[in-house]
A and B are shown apart, each in its own frame.
Chain A
């Protein structure tokens, strides 16, 4: 059963890598260059799917946090922790690829517009989620505090999504795409979603195994009945006698 599982995981990751490679080839060899923005527009095919999957990861943290507050089961805390790690990585990718695009398109690495500011706040919120975890020793207390925090932190996600529609922003709210560009963008969602699910699953499995190891370490080891001390204990009656 374990062997079948590891074969499935290997095939899953090989397929994901293959799809990512095909996606990169599609972006640079198949998709036409956008007329207004030029080749830098090709960042869009990575930037948008990663941004959507960031929201998905944050939603997973929110659902898992609610699950823990409702059922008080450790597996919800492990899932929230796993999804938060992926959310931090993905939000960092969104910010960095956006900054690179902004540098080329607007001439500036960063502008304090609503969308960009709320995105930075989103990244910081989940970084704090990961930072506070090791500082709380009790696993139950840690899970409770992080669950409450995970629910509150999710409030920034709709702000990020709606900000560009409700407030004036330099960040584009929609882009016109040719058919080849649309197909490339839709294709990129497949490997990015596979990577997201795979990373959350792997991180969740790791968190469960780490928690199990810590519990095992706390349990006293059973004493063998035949075990004898290496040296005879010295009592007041036999002092000096070996």
Chain B
């Protein structure tokens, strides 16, 4: 395997993990927002 391909692969892995974790945080935040809206809806009733 070409030495440059190793370098590109490392950046793909490294930045991919960071972007993946950020995406997971964002999705979890959406889920919490929905839970908060459900709970606010129950209290208003």
Which residues does A use to contact B, with CB under 8 Å?
Answer: 20, 24, 27-28, 37-43, 46-47, 50, 85-86, 89, 92-93, 96-97, 100-101, 103-104, 195, 199, 202-203, 205-206, 209-210, 213, 216-217, 221-222
Decide: A213 and B35 in contact? CB cutoff 8 A: yes
Whether A206 contacts B22 in the complex (CB less than 8 A), given A43-B7, A46-B14, A96-B13, comes out as: no
Chain A residues with CB under 8 Å of B1's CB are: 104
Chain B residues with CB under 8 Å of A42's CB are: 4, 7
| Interface of chain A: mostly helix, strand, loop or mixed | helix
Decide: A216 and B39 in contact? CB cutoff 8 A: yes
Chain B residues with CB under 8 Å of A28's CB are: 7-8
CA distance A101 to B9 in the complex (A): 10
Whether A40 contacts B18 in the complex (CB less than 8 A), given A100-B13, A209-B36, comes out as: no
Within 8 A of A (CB), among B1-45: 1-4, 6-11, 13-15, 17-18, 21-22, 25, 28-29, 32, 35-36, 39, 42-43
Chain A residues with CB under 8 Å of B21's CB are: 85-86, 89, 199
Decide: B14 and A97 in contact? CB cutoff 8 A: yes
Chain B: minimal CB distance from A45 (Å): 9
Chain A residues with CB under 8 Å of B18's CB are: 89, 93, 195, 199
Contact partner, B10, options A86, A100, A205, A213, Cβ 8 Å? A100
Closest Cβ neighbor of A88 among chain B residues = B21
Closest 3 interchain pairs by CB?
A: A39-B4, A104-B6, A42-B7
Decide: B32 and A213 in contact? CB cutoff 8 A: yes
Chain B: minimal CB distance from A12 (Å): 12
Contact partner, B6, options A101, A195, A209, A210, Cβ 8 Å? A101
Decide: B11 and A24 in contact? CB cutoff 8 A: yes
Chain A residues with CB under 8 Å of B14's CB are: 46-47, 50, 93, 96-97
